[in-house]
Each structure stands twice: as structure tokens, then as C-alpha cells.
Structure 1
């Protein structure tokens, strides 16, 4: 097998799973970590930077990668749990293309907080989409999709953990094709897109004029320990709806 130059944009639990798998099978040429990764573990997951450094994987950023692309061929880019937008200049320089794993059944719920909005809107199913990255966010051709049910007891954290497990399975499937030089088939997105902005529903606050079902869905959609739980105001006082074990901990800020 000819050695391939693969760039990995990675973060969160999915990114760590992918990075560890690649280290064992075909290490990435460079890692571009999320901006909020300072090299230390947080309340949710191990630092991707720490894993890379402990295993000799070089770390870079978009600016440096643009210059690198001018000097050597990049065969593939893989994005797993990343919050970094890849510049078009880098995408254009990649020989075979860039692959991403999105937490919804595209074209539904493009953009951020896909699992949150799916629960809030009362969806019965969602899933994971493995797709090529194009010039428009989450509009590239679809490689694989896997559907799974949204149960009445599922919270945003539950759903994202299911997504992570299913996305890792799809990653291993497509990565095997890359290593074996097999053609990666894909299909165009034909249906109209259902796009959600990069903000949480109602800015994370309960509207008590909603019906009971909508409030229930909202609370589930906003429950993702250790991030800030759903809240509401009485006068100028802010209250949270959370389990006792959660409110005793520090909250994480949502990644930018």
C-alpha cells in the first residue's frame, strides 16, 4: 500500500476515537485540533492534542496547512468532531477530497446543534451522515448514512453519544476503503435542506407558554452534562432545571 498523506481535523470523543484508530493503522500526517483544546483533558473527554503529542503526531493549523499544501500532496482530509471550518484553498488542494461525519440525516438539520434541534422538534428518528465536504456547509455528496431512533427518554447527551458510536463505525468503513484504494461511491443531496442556525432553541431558556410536550422536549434537548442546563427567569433571578448532581458541578461553555 502506498503511503497516503492524510490530514485529520479532530476533537471531542469522536475525534479521539478516530485519531487513536489512525495511529494504530495509518497515522495522519498532521492534526488540526479544535480551538478550545488547550492540551488538557476537560469534563467531557481527553485532550486530542495530548493524544497526538503522546504518539508523535504533528499538530498544525489552517494558516500553516495552506503553505504545506503548496509543497506536498494531501491525499485526503478527514473531519471528526471538529469545530474548525476548512478554507476553500485547502479543500481545493486536497487530491481526493475531504470527508466529514455529521450528526443528522442530511439534508435535514445542517449546521450546529443538530441533535438538540431534532429532539426539540419532536423528531422520531435522526442519524449520522458520512459525506464529502463541499464549498457549502453540509451540502456535499453523501457516502453513508445510518438512521437511529430518538426515544422519549433520550437527552441531547444520549443522542450525541449514539451518534459518536455510529459515526466511528462509518469512519472505519470508509477508512478501510481509503487504505485499500477502493472507490468511495456517493450520491448527491436532492431534497430541500432543513437548516438550523448555530444557536440553541430559544437561547436555552424555557418559554412557559409552550405546551407540556414542547417543554418536555426542550428540557431533553438542553440536557447535556456538564454544559449549562435549561433555564428560566423569575424577575432577574435565573433558575436551572437539572439533577442535583449536575448543579453541584461547574458548567462547560458551549464551544465556539
Structure 2
């Protein structure tokens, strides 16, 4: 039995990259499942998901139900008679009744080396935890989130300067290639299913805007990781004189000097040195409200009064 008809479920840009790859490689995507359009601003205009934009471009039929638990939704999938559903960053749990309508079931491409970092923020969590590598895992979807049998894995080294943005881009490259390779071998029944070891499972949380606030009373290494993990969203930030300043780039300075966490030790064109619970963090690239992100050397002269040596950041 070969896969002739595919149902694709996804929402964001990462997901759209994988849908586009399937189309370019001539896979028969008969329908796209994506979240309902979001309202844009105060007007009535609605914003399409990145996946919907690709589907519209290639004239692929789109299904955007408010709920997958309705009888109408379940009957819809039965009628389409697709061979498999591919889920990439869809953001909605697929009910068992729908999974069972596909001969090959539903598969999910997840951006971590499962069972580690299940849940909604695996890329950010890998950076925050100081992992040396990450990757993608293709699993068979079951009742429990990200806990299905492992069908395919591909790892990737995390570099010291990787951000969530750069790592997402790298994972999308190996992800789209892996998905195509997997679909070519699944038809030959050569897939070995590996059960996940529950004892090794870890879970990630939904990241919120408030999580980006920097706590100077933590280790410099944790602050530096947070800055990279939350780039581009929600971004890391601090307050000074009620100004919310975003931090886009920083560096750890190995120094034995220990002072009050959050205290400015030095401020010049090379960077702003801030004391933390352990070691010093050098702020290199910042962004003021309503302004573009800039290197400290382009900021320090016009904002000297904000970064006075000896003052503290909130």
C-alpha cells in the first residue's frame, strides 16, 4: 500500500515550510487543516495563518474548524478518505476518532529529540537548558501529547550563538528533508517503531510575554541563554527609569568581581557590564521602545544618563 492522498495540519511559518516542501516534491496534499483566521487589529479584517497562505497559493482546499470534536468535523475526515495526516505545529489535539480514519494514522514532526522536551516550547527549552544538541522527531500520534511511538529521528548540534530564530531555521531545513525521506520509506513498511521511555520525558510550558523579564539575581549563564532562547519572541527585557529595554545580544564575562545583582559596573561603546548572581553579563545589542535594535556603541552617547555606573537595573 502506498500513500496517495495526504491531509496536512499546521499553522505557523515553520509548518508552512514543510507544507511547501511536500508540494514541491509532488506529494498529493488533498486538504489543509489550519486554525481559524485571527482578527487583525480593531477592524474586521482577519489574518491568515502562514499555512493557509501556502494552501491558497497552490489552490489546495482548506478546512478551518473551530473544534475537531464536533460530529461535523469527524464526518468530514471520513468522507475525504486520505491515507495519512501529517501534523507540523498545528497547535490542536487530534481526537482518536479522527486519527483512526487514516490507514497510516496521524504523524507529527516535533522539534526536539523526544521524549525530551515534549509540549509547546521545545526549541526555547533546549537553549534555556544548555543542551548541546537537539533535532526533529517524527512520531505516531496517540492520545497523549508527544508520547507516541518514534518513527524517525534526526539530530542537530546547537551552537553557542544559536537563538530560537536561527535554530528554528536549521530545524526547518532538516525537518523538511526528513519528512520527505520518511514518506518515501513508510510505503515500503520498513519503519521500525520505538516506544518512548516515559522516565526520560520532560515537558515544556507555554511561553508568555512576562517570561522575558530579566532577573539579574540569577546566574549570568542563565540570562545569556534566556536572551537567545527568547529571540525573536517574546524577547528578553529589563526596565530602567520606566523604559522597557529589549536585549538582543549579550555575552558572559568571566570575572571574579562580585557586586549587587543588576548594578552597572561599566558603560562604554564596547558594552554595558552588569553584575549578576555569578559572573558578569555584557549587554551588546539593545532596543528602545519604538526604535530599531542597535549596538551599544550607537546608543551609549545619547543615553548616558540612563546607564550611569553604579546605578541599578530593574
Please classify the TM superposition score into its range, dividing by the shorter chain length.
Answer: 0.7 to 0.9
- 3-state DSSP class of the match of 1:233? strand
Displacement after TM superposition at 1:72 (Å): 4.8
RMSD, aligned CA = 2.8
State how 1:51-200 maps to structure 2 within 5 Å.
51-61=54-64, 62=68, 63=70, 64-178=72-186, 180-192=187-199, 193-199=201-207
Paired with 1:89 and 1:221, the residues of 2 have a C-alpha distance of 36
Unmatched 5+ stretches in structure 1:
42-46, 250-256
**8 Å contact from structure 1 (residues 8, 31) kept in 2:** yes
Moved more, 121-130 or 32-41: 32-41
Report the CA distance between 1:233 and its aligned residue.
3.4
Distance 1:186 1:48 in 2: 29
Cα distance in 1 for residues equivalent to 2:154 and 2:3: 30
How many equivalent residue pairs?
242
Q: Which structure carries more strand by proportion?
A: 2
Structure 2 distance, partners of 1:15, 1:137, is 18
- Residue 4 of structure 1 corresponds to 4
User: Do the aligned residues in 2 keep the contact of 1:130 with 1:167 (CA within 8 Å)?
Assistant: no
Q: Cα distance, 1:5 vs. partner? A: 3.1
Partner Cα separation in structure 1 for residue 142 and residue 17 of structure 2: 24
Describe the SS at the equivalent of 1:231. Answer: strand
Q: SS where residue 153 of structure 1 aligns?
A: coil
SS at match of 2:29: coil
Query: What residue number does 1:31 align with?
Result: 32
- Cα distance, 1:208 vs structure 2: 0.6
Distance (whole Å) between structure 1 residues aligned to residue 21 and residue 212 of structure 2: 35
Structure having greater relative contact order (Cα 8 Å, sep ≥ 6): 1
Cα distance in 1 for partners of 2:174, 2:167 equals 11
C-alpha offsets along residues 198-230 of structure 1, whole Å, 9 cap, x if unaligned?
A: 235972211110111111111111112xx3421
Q: Which runs of 5+ in 2 are unaligned?
A: 39-45, 249-284, 293-314
Shift of 1:234: 4.4
Distance 1:95 1:245 in 2: 51
**Equivalent residue of 1:159, what SS?**
helix
Structure of greater Rg = 2
Change over 3 Å in CA distance of 1:111–1:55 after alignment to 2: same
Task: Give the distance between the partners of 2:149 and 2:32, measured in 1 at CA.
Answer: 24
| Partner in structure 1 of residue 21 of structure 2 | 21
Matched residue, 1:254: none
- TM-score computed with the length of structure 2 as normaliser: 0.68
Q: Which structure has the highest helix share of the two?
A: 1
